[in-house]
């Protein structure tokens, strides 16, 4: 590939570098997760302005370096500003990019993960627009953003190769008396194989199956209770901890 290239990208986050520069983490369509130097971005007259806020979808022009690439230009495709301005959506968005960051090595190309990220941000934006002008702190509104995030995280587990086994007991294959979830074996387990497990309800298992089988947008309209959502989050967190050595910091 040429050392100068253009690609769509989503900003995941950034940190300071020296007095005027930043290192921005971009998830790109062309080369996966790319740590990128942005020179002079902290100066008042920076040409990048607000294009490097988290969740911003850009057309990026980059120069390839040994360990860090350099951003030479950027055009905004979508700001996702409404997502950042809606507290429940912001929490969900930060949870998803935290998981994406931890589950994806630098420079590992994955167009499917990139496409999932773009779809997720678009669906979260759409949910923000639907609830704009309402009291977005109500339980029902907050639950929509949480369901979308949990569904996206489950689909991300599928793309990383650690899809939870949800059809029957992951140890013996039985479909009877499913009582819990085990991260070491990677799925649901029956009462006879219940070592290193925590309890999950039938509602939780059905909700996870639906989130994996249906399009991401369908998660917004699912009737998933608070207990099931909490158990789904625990399943995702423990799978990441055990199989990806990733301790997720943010619960959606």
User: Residue 122 to residues 68, 149, 154, 180: CA-CA distances in angstroms?
Assistant: 28, 12, 17, 34
What class does CATH assign to 4-78? Answer: mainly beta
Question: Are both 4-78 and 81-243 of the same fold?
Answer: no
- Whether residue 189 contacts residue 181, with contact meaning beta carbons closer than 8 Å, is answered with yes
Which pLDDT belongs to residue 133? Answer: 53
Q: How far is the C-alpha of 51 from the C-alpha of 55, rounded, in Å? A: 10
Q: Where in the chain are the domains?
A: 4-78, 81-243
pTM more than 0.85: yes
Which pLDDT belongs to residue 178? Answer: 84
Degrees to nearest 5, angle at CA 216 with 251 and 181: 50
Which pLDDT belongs to residue 45? Answer: 58
Which mean pLDDT values do the consecutive 10-residue runs of the chain (252 residues) have? 88 83 93 91 62 93 92 94 93 96 94 97 93 55 91 96 91 86 92 84 94 95 93 96 91 92
Q: How far is CA 135 from the centre of its chain?
A: 25
User: Of the candidates 210, 76, 199, which has an alpha carbon nearest to the alpha carbon of residue 154?
Assistant: 210
Which pLDDT belongs to residue 179? Answer: 83
Which pLDDT belongs to residue 136? Answer: 46
Which pLDDT belongs to residue 44? Answer: 47
Degrees to nearest 5, angle at CA 158 with 15 and 98: 15
Q: How far is the C-alpha of 97 from the C-alpha of 121, rounded, in Å? A: 10
End-to-end CA distance of the chain: 38
- The CATH architecture assigned to 81-243 reads Up-down Bundle (1.20)
């Amino acid at each position: 590939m040429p050392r100068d290239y253009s690609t769509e990208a989503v900003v995941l986050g950034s940190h300071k570098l020296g007095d005027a520069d930043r290192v921005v983490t971009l998830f790109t369509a062309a080369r996966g997760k790319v740590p990128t130097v942005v020179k002079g971005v902290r100066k008042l007259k920076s040409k990048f302005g607000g294009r490097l806020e988290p969740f911003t979808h850009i057309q990026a022009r980059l120069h390839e370096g040994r360990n860090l690439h350099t951003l030479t230009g950027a055009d905004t495709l979508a700001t996702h500003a409404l997502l950042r301005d809606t507290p429940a959506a912001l929490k969900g968005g930060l949870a998803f990019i935290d998981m994406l960051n931890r589950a994806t090595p630098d420079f590992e190309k994955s167009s499917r993960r990139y496409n999932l990220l773009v779809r997720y941000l678009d669906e979260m934006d759409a949910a923000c627009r639907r609830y704009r002008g309402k009291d977005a702190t109500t339980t029902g509104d907050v639950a929509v953003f949480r369901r979308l995030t949990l569904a996206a995280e489950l689909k991300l587990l599928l793309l990383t190769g650690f899809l939870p086994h949800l059809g029957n007991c992951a140890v013996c294959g039985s479909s009877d008396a499913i009582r819990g979830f085990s991260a070491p074996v990677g799925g649901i387990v029956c009462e006879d194989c219940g070592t290193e497990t925590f309890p999950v309800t039938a509602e939780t298992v059905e909700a996870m199956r639906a989130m994996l089988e249906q399009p991401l947008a369908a998660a917004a309209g699912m009737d998933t209770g608070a207990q099931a959502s909490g158990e789904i989050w625990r399943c995702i967190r423990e799978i990441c901890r055990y199989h990806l050595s990733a301790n997720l910091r943010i619960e959606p």
